[in-house]
Structure 1
Amino acid sequence: MNSWIGVASKNNVEIGVAGGFCQLCHGKSAPLGRFYLEKLIHSKWLLVLFQLEEILI
């Protein structure tokens, strides 16, 4: 079984939960590469981490 960890903003996580989807690498498959993308599709778990407070730079 494969598990993955993704990092996203709280706002993006809330949108994905409401819409029933998850997006990694800004929706681009190239950064993941075909090998990892196929493994991600067949994974059982995806944990998404987000920051509770927004950082303003």
Structure 2
Amino acid sequence: MPLLKRQKVEDCVTEMLRDGIIRPSDSAWASPITLAPKKDGTTRFCVDYRKINAI
């Protein structure tokens, strides 16, 4: 992942942790994330839950 995107991901995760949207986990399960550009120039943090939902 490019450094600029990595920093944006870290910023998003830090903000969601601070706001109580997500919490730390020691789970062996994880889902891949991606950043999707929005029309207004901002970025949307997306999580792909398809594989974990298939279980």
TM over 0.5: no
Query: What is the TM-score when the length of structure 2 is the normalising length?
Result: 0.30
Query: What is the TM-score when the length of structure 1 is the normalising length?
Result: 0.30
Greater RCO (Cα-Cα under 8 Å, separation 6 or more): 1
